[in-house]
Structure 1
Amino acid sequence: MKEQGFTLVEILVAVTITGIVLVSVFSLLQRSFQLWDTVGANNHWEQNFRVLETELKRDLHNLFVSPLAKENLFEGSSQKLEFYKLNNNGKMTKITYYFDDYNNKFTKKISYPKQDKKARTIEFFSQMKIKRVEFQFYDREAEYLKSYWSQQEIKKEVIEERGPEQLKKFLPQAVKLEIELEKVNLPPLVIENFIGREYGGE
């Protein structure tokens, strides 16, 4: 009995079917990996966003101000915010939020003036491309958002207008933070400053 092999047509049909199946499998795997990456990226920015919101809100709500202290500080620009706050133990810490555009880093730095402790940092959105970071500061008297805030400048203006005996210091009523990531549009953070009004003594 003579053995009969596959014909050329049968081989071509088999190869074609196998190719179609492999392409379908690879496409499915690729979509699965893309979905996995998207879910992972979303989880990453959501976690970072929640941590940032908690940290910034807690820091601003514990802002240190006193007419009796020289360490009054609140300086802000579009990419940096710096102020003092009080810890639960009554110790003062210096808080700095800043965006390093060159190195693509948005960081919170905690330093301890007059204390024998090393400064520490927290980095936000470390695994994502940050396109833009912008702080803004709400001036209650002018009723608009400023792109910078300098306590020293305001102090000088108040002295010129009211005289040193009527010196009052001011803080913004709220701080707004906008962050734009490469693939994600984050909602703006607006945090009210509970002492964003006149403080200090005459």
Structure 2
Amino acid sequence: MSRDLRTALAELEDDVRLVRLAPAAEIRGRGRGRLLRRRAAVAGGFAVLLVAAIATAGTLLPGERETLPASPGCAAPVDLTLPDSSAGVAVRVLSGAADASRAEQAIKDIRVRIPDARADTTAREELPSGTVAVIRYGPRAVGEAAFLDAMLLGQAEVIFVPSRADARLDLVVGPAYQQLATPTELNRALVEITPQDLPHEC
């Protein structure tokens, strides 16, 4: 070991001897104080999340029933219940596209998601070129119409028919139809729906 290094170590040892160390109890006290502050911050964050969850509790979840009584303008009580899955949606699919192959593809896509979808090849409507789809529904299918519109990425023209007494939807596939929402897109759209977003004009 060189002389310079020995001298530096000796000076460092002298400096360390002069350093005043805090008592062990004081060091433990500081550590406990930091732990308490950290726990208080976590509890505060949890409280903020709880308040936010309560504030958004008005969201209508799939399967959660909310029905409004029938009014003079409606043929049935208004049902705002979102279906648990697409399997519970009764829909009749009509073609509104001049291109028959596009309508057939749309019907195939919809039947993958909605096994009970019925294609009506006899009924046909001419829709404007920029129309993705038209959904017609009555008071008993308000939630189902919102579900189907979310499946169509919110691009459908949704028409409420107060005089309709059944729970079936009519879906007219338009010339601008491209594809259905992915499961992730559908779930995201459904989570954002609240009862106030559902049309119930009765």
TM-score (norm 2): 0.31
Bigger Rg, structure 1 or 2 = 2
User: Structure 1 or 2: larger strand share?
Assistant: 1
TM-score (norm 1): 0.31
Of structures 1 and 2, the one with the larger relative CO (CA 8 A, separation 6+) is 2
